[in-house]
Structure 1
Amino acid sequence: MVEPRDRRNPYLIPRLYIEGIKGDEYLVESGEGVYKRSKSCPSGSRCYGKAIYGVELDSILDLLEKKVKRSFIVEPGDKPGEGILVESGVHAEPIPVSGKRAVIEVLEGDEVKEGDVLGLIVTGKYELRKVRSHVDGIVVYIYSSPMGPPDENIVFIVPRDQVKRIKIEE
């Protein structure tokens, strides 16, 4: 069962950092589990460039193979200074939460078990349905298509042992 968290209203959009891309802000690896914010990527450093959260999909995830293409870090909006690191090559289970209307019930960083409710959808026949997880793991990324209606979302879940919790420093 998903543990209840402080669900501030409005939803605070997370920050997304992708390894090897250019951005106006970077996270630079500075030690075991610690990353520092920077305006540039020092030569020879492992850097993650800031990208737009929620609409970035093709550069980080392969839907057909269900794998992470590029390592990325998500800094949840409700937990500044904390991050979720997912390395390339890791299995990421995509679970669609799509309908005439969709409401996501989980946040990035939530641990879910098989059968937990990820969201609610309204179908074309105006029926309300629950979308449940069919895997255990950590919610690492929530994609929301900029096109629509209908509401098109995908919740990505990665096995717990494949997610690294990191600290982000200014």
Structure 2
Amino acid sequence: MSEQVEGCHKSPYLIPQLFIEGLDSDEFLVLRDSIAKRSMECPKDARCFGKAIYGVELDSIVDLVAKKCTRSFIVVLPPDYRRGLLVEAGSYVEPIPLEGMRVAVEVCEGSKVGIEDTIGFIATRKFEVRHIRSHVEGVIVYIYSSPESGPDRNIVLVAPREVVKEIEVQS
């Protein structure tokens, strides 16, 4: 049974934030141990993650064929943006595609899923509704949404619980 994260899908305005290690940006998370501090610059000799547009980055963080992260990333979770999920480069992730004329994703980042848990629903061109279930156990770490127009294309990334590190995000 999936374990929903509090606040999940309660507001369309609460979008997670994505920070990618080594990305040049105007906003950074500087990571030390399990604490990430927000900064406008990357200090020398620090582990820095640059802010990216959430939901459209995919090729820069994961190799879908190898099912591995190519760069470390942090997803900062709403509603208070004080908790993040760190996934290191080289970690295994399972991509679960949801593609159709309309897609309804039923999980959010931070949700724990098991085998046969509902990930979402898709509507096909024949107006059939299909139920998409997880075929792996883990934690939802990122949800990609294609910026191209129709059909809807989403990819939900599920990582094993042991590779997802929870971090505290400070202002």
The normalised TM-score by structure 2 is: 0.96
**Paired residue for 2:20?**
18
Shift of 1:3: 2.1
Aligned pairs for 1:61-72 within 5 A: 61-72=62-73
- Partner residue in 2 for 1:81: 82
Counterpart CA distance in 1 for 2:133 and 2:160 is 16
Partners in 2 of 1:58 and 1:10 — Cα distance? 25
The residue aligned with 2:3 is 3
Superposed CA deviations along residues 121-161 of structure 1, whole A, max 9, x for unmatched, are 10111011110000000000000000121000000000000
> Structure 1's 145 and 68: CA in aligned 2 closer, same or farther, altered over 3 A?
same
Instruction: Determine the structure 2 residue equivalent to 1:125.
Output: 126
Q: Aligned-pair RMSD on alpha carbons?
A: 1.0
Q: Could you tell me how far 1:79 is from its partner in structure 2? A: 4.3
- Which runs of structure 2 are paired with 1:25-40 in the superposition (5 Å)? 25-30=27-32, 32-40=33-41
- Give the gaps of 5 or more residues in structure 1: none
CA distances 1:36-64 after superposition (whole Å, capped 9, x unpaired): 00000000000000001100011100011
Q: Count how many residue pairs are aligned between Structure 1 and Structure 2.
A: 169
Percent identity, aligned pairs only, is 52
CA distance in 2, matches of 1:73, 1:24: 16
User: 2-side partners of 1:133 and 1:77: how far apart?
Assistant: 23
- 1:119 counterpart letter in structure 2: G
Distance 2:70 2:110 in 1: 20
> Any idea what SS the aligned residue of 1:161 has?
helix
Code of the residue aligned with 2:22 in structure 1: it is G
Deviation at 1:69, TM superposition (A): 0.1
Amino acid at match of 2:101: K
- Runs (4+) off by over 6 Å: none
Cα offset for 1:86?
A: 0.1
- The answer to whether residue 155 in structure 2 is matched with residue 161 in structure 1 is no
> Secondary structure of the equivalent of 1:97?
strand
Query: TM-score with structure 1 length normalisation?
Result: 0.96
Q: Distance in 2 between matches of 1:169 and 1:110?
A: 22
2:10 alignment partner AA: R
Provide the residue aligned with 1:103 in structure 2: 104
